Structure 1
Amino acid sequence: MTSAAAAPAADVRPDLTGRRVHVKVPATSANLGPGFDTLGLALARYDDLEVSVPTALTGQDGPGLDIEVHGVGAGEVPLDASHLVVRAIAHTFARAGVELPPLKLVAHNSIPHGRGLGSSGAAIVAGVIAAKGLLEGIVEFDPDDLLALATELEGHPDNVAPALFGGLTIAWVTPEGPRHKKLMVHRGVSPLVLVPEHEMSTALARSLQPESVPHEDAVFNVSRSALLIAALIQSPELLLQATEDKLHQHYRAQAMPETDRLIRALRAAGHPAVVSGAGPSILVLASDPSARAEAIRLVEASADTVWQALPLAVDFMGATVQPA
């Protein structure tokens, strides 16, 4: 941790009783077609959480922890120390050398789980940001610290970077740790997320990819990734060409045939559609709101199964934390 206030000695026990923070974290879509494990986009759909340090607490995991989950994941996610937000808080406190206090967590979730919209990354970022807020004035974290902490738990920075910082992010890894660059998206870009009823395992999706790809496919994706940056920040009319990919989507298609079929239909009609993250959701990077409306009509007319259409704005703020 780099800060005006240096990290305290290991296992210190500051009195955090009564501290309470409100955290808001956006959904994300990673890869964006050709930008595999590198590009990510923050979207205006949020998980809201309140984390507090009570005076005394006995919860479902014994003394010291109480968790409430409302909305997405209610009745499904664990209500003990294995909850991903709690794990991220504990990880951040441990890295800071501060003993974890009793916690009360109330989560109101709207980011779909297992659909390729960064729900696990959002939970990790929520925990890291909550810990930052609870430790305000005791330990300070710079942006690189936050990204490193979140990446340690997530494994890849491409989802946690846009969740942390908002906008379009380029993420990469150096010997000193993960780094990012945030870019502002052209105001004409109108994201549409199509969410199916079924889930997709990220681990399964990754297992379907080969360890090596043809040289020409790698060159193809380098060109499209570069073009995609230009399309998103300056020239939305290039988005259809810029979202072409040969590195990951067709390898995963066998595991999500409905997603693959709908993407092909959308792209054939001129809509820049890609798999959102590991899928099975679809991200359409429409060049304006009218094109987005046309894509919704196409899905309603041609889809064999139910897809929830979410017209979303780009989130430019990223995760926020403030006293509650």
Structure 2
Amino acid sequence: MVTFVDGPVRVSVPATSANLGPGFDSLGLALSLRDELEAEVTGSGLAVEVEGAGSWSVPLDESHLVVRSMRAAFEAMGARPPGLRLSCSNVIPHARGLGSSSAAIVAGVSLARGLVAGGSLLVSDEALFDLAARIEGHPDNVAPAFYGGFAISGRDDDGFYAVGSAVDPRVGAVVFVPPNPVATEVARGLLPAEVPHADAAADAGRTALLVAALAGQPEQLFRATRDFLHQDYRRAAMPESLALVDTLRADRVAAVVSGAGPTVLAFADGPGAAAAEPDRLLARCPDGWLAYHLAVDREGVRLA
């Protein structure tokens, strides 16, 4: 019989940036911007509290993405809590290409496992990652949110997979977050069904180079982040974002659209390196946008 732990369980989960230019639907990086959540089993009902990003727009009932993810994980463990209380403190911007939905899903399945006594024996990390990826529908943000760091992920006949890869400690990022969201469905709907073979081949080469550049040759990041498959096709949905990418890249800054956008990510020196480059980038934030200098988050989801 499944039993529940006494008292609340807390998790924090990082923002993520997928694609990173050429790594469409396959590369993702965890960033040091974290949502914090707390949940506990109660006698009955459901109570959801949200503060911070998205608090004015997300539902506070069973349709809340964290709650739906918790329910899916409880079902996988054969657990039926009589009631739930969930509290979310969000800092990851919603619908901006920084993995807010993946963070919610990863947090939800992790909270549910943490609330079940011996939950890690009932559902392994691999199984929990697979469940999160199935809820999201793709693993490129889920993988770094779950495992941390830089992840190469995908799906084959054996299911979803994620493989971690090294990130040079000199690598950090500046993200430029515009005030208005763009729905992932809208951005994805602008992509063509077919692309030229030459573009696909060029993108494959840059993706391979990007893995090497992040691992230990950051001087190659500008060349490695050139995309041929998706960013220009999405320009109509986020013209200001692509204009910023163009401007930064004209100055040989390794800038890309983060995920489906509209946030722009520019690779920069990490916090342990000289601060001149990040400061120079932060000063280029457009009016009305927010800019953050972030480190690569090495931990992924963390149970408090």
TM bucket (normalised to shorter chain) is over 0.9
Partner AA of 2:226 in structure 1: E
- Identity of aligned pairs, percent? 47
Distance of 1:75 and 1:308 partners within structure 2: 19
Partner AA of 2:49 in structure 1: E
What's the offset of the Cα at 1:296? Answer: 1.9
TM-score (norm 1): 0.89
Please name the residue that 1:307 is paired with.
289
Please name the residue that 1:111 is paired with.
92
What's the offset of the Cα at 1:264? Answer: 0.4
Please name the residue that 1:48 is paired with.
36
Task: Please give the secondary structure, in 1, of the residue aligned with 2:23.
Answer: coil
What's the offset of the Cα at 1:46? Answer: 0.6
Q: Does 1:131 align with 2:112?
A: yes
Partner AA of 2:281 in structure 1: A
Please name the residue that 2:51 is paired with.
70
Partner AA of 2:143 in structure 1: A
Distance of 2:259 and 2:117 partners within structure 1: 33
**Greater mean alpha carbon deviation, residues 260-269 or residues 99-108:** 99-108
Size of the aligned set, in residue pairs, is 299
What's the offset of the Cα at 1:17? Answer: 6.3
Task: Please give the secondary structure, in 2, of the residue aligned with 1:41.
Answer: strand
Please name the residue that 2:216 is paired with.
234
What's the offset of the Cα at 1:75? Answer: 2.8
The 5 Å alignment of 1:17-28 reads 18-28=6-16
Please name the residue that 2:240 is paired with.
258
- Give the counterpart of 1:243 among 207, 213, 225: 225
After superposition, the C-alpha distances for 1:152-195 in whole angstroms (9 at most, x for unaligned) are 11011000000000000000212221111112311111211100
* Maintained 8 Å contact 1:263/1:273: yes
Please name the residue that 2:139 is paired with.
157
Q: Does 1:215 align with 2:201?
A: no
What's the offset of the Cα at 1:102? Answer: 0.9
Task: Please give the secondary structure, in 2, of the residue aligned with 1:311.
Answer: strand
Partner AA of 1:171 in structure 2: S
Q: Does 1:79 align with 2:60?
A: yes
- Give the counterpart of 2:154 among 172, 184, 193: 172
Please name the residue that 1:3 is paired with.
none
* Maintained 8 Å contact 2:149/2:300: yes
Distance of 1:140 and 1:191 partners within structure 2: 37
Distance of 1:174 and 1:132 partners within structure 2: 26
Please name the residue that 1:292 is paired with.
278
* Maintained 8 Å contact 1:173/1:179: yes
Please name the residue that 2:177 is paired with.
195
Q: Quickly say closer, same or farther: Cα 1:281–1:137, change in 2 above 3 A.
A: same
Task: Please give the secondary structure, in 2, of the residue aligned with 1:284.
Answer: strand
Task: Please give the secondary structure, in 1, of the residue aligned with 2:296.
Answer: coil
Task: Please give the secondary structure, in 2, of the residue aligned with 1:117.
Answer: coil
Q: Which has the higher Rg, Structure 1 or Structure 2?
A: 1
Partner AA of 2:209 in structure 1: L
What's the offset of the Cα at 1:18? Answer: 2.8
Query: Gaps (5+ residues) in structure 2?
Result: none
* Maintained 8 Å contact 1:94/1:100: no
Partner AA of 1:291 in structure 2: E
Partner AA of 2:196 in structure 1: P
Across the aligned residues of Structure 1 and Structure 2, the Cα RMSD in angstroms comes to 1.4
Please name the residue that 1:39 is paired with.
27
